[in-house]
Every structure is written in C-alpha cells, then in structure tokens.
Structure 1
C-alpha cells in the first residue's frame, strides 16, 4: 500500500512540475515575415527582433521642431512613428503608434479606418510641448501584405500632411450666447435635451460593473453632447462611452460625418465590461451635427 501511495505522490509531483514548465514556456510564433516586402509596402525601414519574431518599421518625425518645457527635442526622444508586425498562426498582427500634430490627427485617423486599420487610443505623451503633439495607437490582424499596404498609406498621409500648421481657429461666436432651437435636436436624437447654463446638453447613460457593483450614468459612465451657437452656426462637443467591440464603428460614423476625434482613452480600470471613452468636436449646422451624433449612437447598437 505504501508503494502505491508513494507512486501516486510521485506521479502528482511530476504532473505538477510539467504543468509549471508548460505554463512558463513562451508562446511560439509561427510563420515567416517577408521583411523586404513589408519595407517596400510601408515605405519604411525596419529591424527584426528574432526572439519575438517581430519586425518593427520606424519613421522618425524629424520634420517636427518640438520643445517640451523649453527643451528642444529630437525624434529619438519619443517622436518616432512605428508599426510592428508579428506572425500569429496563419495571420499577421500589427501594432503601432503614430506621432501627429493636432491638424494631422483626423486625416490620418480616417486613412487608417478606411484601410482596415483599427484606432485603439489617442492621447498626449507630454505636457508643455510646442507645437502640441498627439499619439495615435493602432492595431490590426490579417494578411501581412494587406496590413503593410495599409500602414504604408497611413505613413503616406502623415507625410502628406506634415506641412500642416497647427493653429487655433479664431473665435466665431460666444457659446454663452447660444440661440439655437433644441427641439429639432431632440427629434433627431430621440432623447431629451437639457438646458445647462446657456447651452444644451444630452446625456445618455450606460452601466458597467466595478468590484461587483453596478456603476452608471451619474458615476460618469455616459455618452453626452453639448450643443452651442445658432441653428446655422453651431458646435457640438462631448464624450462617447463605448464597448471595446463598438469603438471602430463609432469612430467611423463620427469621422464619416466630419466630426473630429480629440482623444480616445480609458476613464476607469477594472470595470466589466470594459468601457472606452472618446472625446470629439464638430462645427456646422446644428441639425447636421445632431444627425452625426445620432449616427454614432446607432453604430453602438449594431451587432
């Protein structure tokens, strides 16, 4: 009986050790990247990391003359756009980060979305930078050549718009003197519009959970829009709270209507389901702006 017991214990120990070994073994990448083809299609030179089987192409933004807190920066100090390719099974994954001046953000974002590249984040990496520089994170999965072609178009759009001069548009009206009629906006959106000070705001709540407790509209999990100005000359600005799976659809709807995306980021950590927040800005006829907002709302409902 003791011999049997010892054998059982030994078998359990061996099984446990093998399990730990398997758990610690790194995931093996499959496939071979055509490095020359990726460089050709992206128009950028890269470097292969043999340990990760990932190929990273870089485009330094040497065309920018950026200062941060009075310090003259170079492309090597964090102002280099990049995209990394890695084979995963029978597909290729791409991830990257695009360095953009403010006026470049939305043209480059549209280029990415139109060419099958997902936009996953948009935010600043610095404070006190002049001119203001934002960073757009991207990703995608599929055929290596198709991905490289799309990334090449994104890089080309950055180059095409690199002469854009970031500027602050002259003030065209005072939001505190809003005169627009909120009724057409309510009809288009299908939700009540509340007067907040001198402007009009619509807030649509949603719910997630944190530590097993529901968190909703009042706690900040909501989509909102503020309308200001006149019927013919208005602005809309606000925030969309979207599920990760709905982010790309909402971005496409807003960009398709000419609405500028200003940031994409998280407001919380540890929530379930995860909520991504995107801030936006638009100018135009009030009813057109309301239609753009409604189109983005509808994109959240699509399966």
Structure 2
C-alpha cells in the first residue's frame, strides 16, 4: 500500500471507536506470526527485536543491545486492522535482502541511516511502516528478518541470579533529567515525550510508536557512562539543540527523518559521548530544554 493510501486508511479509521478496533484483533495470532510476545502500552503492541547476536564496539566500549542495538516494531489498532511502525537494526549486507522482502510484502521503507560513528561492525537502521492485517504484516516482518538477517527471535538465555546493580547514581540522574529512568539490560534509559505529539495520518505518534526523546546511559566504570539515543525535534529546534550538545562535549552523530508524512515535520538527532555520567546528563538536559519537551 502506498504512503498516501495508508494515510487515507488511517484517517478514515479515526472515525471508528478505537476500542472496537482493538477488540477485533487477535493479538495472540500476531504474537505467533512475529515469533515474539508484545509489551502493551494502551492499545499499542510493541515487539522488541534486539540484535543480541552482534558484538559491536565503539571507542573500546562494548555496546549492549539496550544501548543502541534495540530494534522494534509496534502495532496500533485501526478500523479492525492496524498501523505498524518500526526500526530494524541491520548489518550492511543484510539491508538489501530485508528491504526487498518487506517491499514485496507491501510494507514501506521510510528511512535507512546510521545512528553511531566508528562502530565496529557498522550497523544501520531501517524504518518501516504499513497499514493492513496485523497478522500478515507481522508474518512478513518475521520472514524478512529470518531470511535476510540473523536477527534472533528466541528470547535470550536467563539465569537465576538477579540483574547486577548499575554502577551509576541513578537517583541523581533522575534529578538532573527531571524524569524517572528505567534499568533495562544493563542500561539506564529515559523516554521523554514532547509537549505535543506529532501526528501521522491524523493519528498521534505516541512514545510507544517511537515518538519520544530516547536517552540511554551505559555504565563504563568510575561514575562514567557511554550515552546515545535520539532527540525528536522540529526543524527550527535542530541547530539550537546540536549547539547545546556540542557545548556539553557531546558528539552529534546523525540528523535525519524517520517518517514520511508526519505533522509537524520532525527530525531525529543521534549522539554519543563517554564521560562522567552526571556531567553528560546536565549536557543532555540543557539540550532538551532548547526544545518543546514535556515538563515534569
């Protein structure tokens, strides 16, 4: 389905009560088709696709999947069908095979780009979108990733031991960031929404659908952390934000779009640094304050 047709379908779906749409989808079948179990936020079903099979390093730092290798797809119910958006983490050799499979299934590619610089091996990020039968779209995504990449679908092996405590002053990070972070896979993560969500085809792009600032801290010892993620900004906010990041000695690694038809037009700013975690948090917060971010 073309982007314009997808938008028309989405816009039409706004007229139908979303609860009825949600109830008409058998999410267990969608789970089975994708080979994953979703995390549910409101009506959004989000599936994590971390590249735990990859061993990526940047400036000597081993990158945990939760820091920068966390692919995902998310489905939102729409008139008995669903809209899907996602971000797939791929090697260069995997990009074309996965793209071809997705296009052949009727899904759309909305962006391909880097997030990091100097990482070995280099990873790329493919954004996908579509509207239709969620079970069929989930099966198409599973087939594309299974045949075109080595993206794992089996859950990682777990041990009985508790997750180790993060070597970070998380209470102080929360205070500086004006938000409450979450420890996931050895990384301390913040998801900070904008004051007003962007819309795609008349529907709000929620945080679960990729519509929030994502800030990740991975401990590197002695109170230091490697940080990366992305800021979600309008065009007039791009340069004020990147100037603030550079003032905080934070490297800007990518500036690009993720979607095709959102309103207002949004840009995603990716970044990297490895330094004192509290210093970096102050730099990140100063950058956020240059944008229309939601205030707690």
TM-score normalised by L of structure 1: 0.42
TM-score normalised by L of structure 2: 0.43
Structure (1 or 2) with the larger CA radius of gyration: 1
Greater relative contact order: 1 or 2 (C-alpha under 8 angstroms, separation 6 or more)?
Answer: 2
